[in-house]
């Protein structure tokens, strides 16, 4: 449905996006992940047609972006203010009038659960309510492709989960979604496919579970380093911040080996790998701007 070929964007001497290639299938919820400054927003804005690439091309249904694209996409930006002194109803009516065909107001209200504050001034909305209104604006034209740029940043856990429910509902309507997020749990819950971006490049792309399996194996075992004589460990492992981490496809076999080495297993933790592990593994532990 949307294809990106060799996308590059320079800001002076800085190469914010450096040769990105992506292909987003119809009906897929695609997550674009990356640390701050990785180039996610710059990439997504070029895919939205909001900013122009220095080089490369974005194709929608095989064609360069044009009027059909404008009519068929919905966008929720990371930072958007609603106009002052308008009520939620006024805002939705305004955006409905900007498209040749639009969803009925009642349907938007139902999809995004806006009923209780439809006649409230936009300046008096909570963070979660505001995001729901912005989502409703993005859905106003019943888009085939929906861009969501960090839609839950700054929301409390309840609001975030409520928002996930809304997005799952939209997925259920067969829409294609492109989502950027900092929250790996969000990507894990919502995305069918992800791409991890760093320093302007896509460093990994695929289905979340497949990528985890490919990178780490089935499970991870963690022990405090004080209980382990690392020299005697007959397994590949990593050590960071006083914790020994072992990847394993055979948890029972690994535990047996540890017992044979006489290692105390009282504080052993066994868990499945998460996207957050993958993210940190690929993008490192350093702080980003």
Partner 1 sequence: MRLSWQRFFALLHARNIEFIRDRAALSWNLLFPVLMMVGFAFIFSQEEQPLFKVGVYDSAGVGHPFLQSHYLQFIPIANDSELATAVTKVERHQLDLLLALDAPPRYWINSSSAAGYVTEQMLRASDAVMPQRQLVSGDEVRYVDWLVPGVLGMNMMFSALYGIGFVLVRYRKNGVLKRFHATPVTSLEFITAQICSRLLLIVVSAIMVYLLCDLLLNFAMYGSYLALFCVLLVGGFNLIALGLIIAARLRSDEVANGLINLLTMPMMVLSGVWFSLEGSPAWLIALADLLPLTHIVTAARLVMIDGAGVTTIMPQLATLTVMGLLFLLIGTLLFRWDD
Binding mask 104-133 for partner 1 (x = CB under 8 A): ------------------------------
Binding flag, residue 48, partner 1 (CB under 8 A): yes
Binding flag, residue 241, partner 1 (CB under 8 A): no
Reduced DSSP (H G I as helix, E B as strand, rest coil) percent helix, strand, coil of the chain, to 5: 35, 30, 35
Binding flag, residue 75, partner 1 (CB under 8 A): yes
Residue 41 φ then ψ, to 5°? -65, -40
Crossing angle for the helix pair 275-283 and 208-216, to the nearest 10 degrees: 60
Smallest distance from partner 1 to CB 228, Å = 52
Q: CB neighbours of 66 closer than 8 A, spacing ≥ 6? A: none
Q: Which is nearer to partner 1, 9 or 171 (CB)?
A: 9
Binding flag, residue 93, partner 1 (CB under 8 A): yes
Binding flag, residue 8, partner 1 (CB under 8 A): no
Q: For partner 1, which residue of 14, 57, 98, 243 counts as binding (CB under 8 A)?
A: 98
Residues 88 and 117: beta-carbon distance below 8 Å: yes
Q: For partner 1, which residue of 36, 55, 80, 168 counts as binding (CB under 8 A)?
A: 80
Q: Which is nearer to partner 1, 121 or 207 (CB)?
A: 121
- Give the angle 88-93-106 at the CA atoms, nearest 5°: 80
Binding flag, residue 2, partner 1 (CB under 8 A): no
**What does the alpha-carbon distance between residue 258 and residue 228 come to, in Å, rounded to a whole number?**
9
Q: Which is nearer to partner 1, 98 or 265 (CB)?
A: 98
Binding flag, residue 13, partner 1 (CB under 8 A): no
Residues 184 and 168: beta-carbon distance below 8 Å: no
Residues 20 and 197: beta-carbon distance below 8 Å: yes
Binding flag, residue 71, partner 1 (CB under 8 A): yes
Residues 256 and 242: beta-carbon distance below 8 Å: no
Q: For partner 1, which residue of 8, 21, 23, 90 counts as binding (CB under 8 A)?
A: 90
- Give the angle 201-210-224 at the CA atoms, nearest 5°: 90
Q: Which of 171, 178, 174 is nearest to 193 (CA)?
A: 178
Smallest distance from partner 1 to CB 220, Å = 41
Q: For partner 1, which residue of 16, 24, 82, 211 counts as binding (CB under 8 A)?
A: 82
Q: Which residues bind partner 1 (CB under 8 A)?
A: 48-51, 67, 70-71, 73, 75, 77, 79-86, 90-91, 93-95, 97-100, 137, 141
């Amino acid at each position: 449905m949307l294809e990106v070929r060799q996308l590059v964007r320079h800001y002076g001497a800085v190469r914010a996006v450096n040769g990105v290639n992506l292909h987003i299938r119809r009906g897929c919820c695609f997550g674009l992940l990356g640390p701050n400054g990785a180039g996610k927003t710059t990439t997504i804005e070029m895919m939205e047609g909001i900013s122009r690439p220095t080089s490369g091309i974005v194709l929608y249904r095989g064609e360069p972006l044009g009027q059909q694209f404008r009519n068929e996409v919905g966008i929720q930006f990371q930072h958007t203010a609603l106009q002052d002194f308008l009520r939620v109803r006024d805002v939705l009516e305004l955006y409905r009038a900007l498209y040749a065909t639009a969803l009925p107001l009642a349907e938007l209200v139902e999809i995004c659960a806006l009923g209780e504050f439809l006649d409230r001034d936009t300046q008096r909305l909570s963070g979660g309510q505001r995001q729901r209104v912005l989502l409703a604006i993005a859905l106003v034209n019943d888009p085939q492709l929906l861009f969501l740029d960090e839609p839950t940043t700054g929301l409390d856990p309840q609001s975030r989960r409520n928002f996930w429910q809304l997005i799952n509902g939209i997925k259920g309507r067969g829409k294609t979604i492109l989502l950027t997020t900092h929250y790996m749990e969000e990507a894990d819950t919502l995305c069918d496919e992800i791409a991890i971006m760093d320093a302007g490049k896509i460093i990994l792309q695929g289905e979340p579970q497949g990528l985890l399996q490919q990178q780490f194996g089935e499970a991870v075992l963690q022990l405090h380093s004080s209980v382990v004589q690392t020299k005697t460990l007959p397994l590949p492992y990593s050590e960071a911040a006083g914790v020994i981490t072992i990847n394993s496809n055979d948890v029972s076999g690994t535990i047996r080996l540890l017992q044979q080495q006489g290692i105390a297993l009282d504080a052993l933790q066994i868990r499945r790998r998460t996207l957050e592990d993958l993210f940190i593994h690929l993008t490192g532990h350093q702080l980003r701007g």
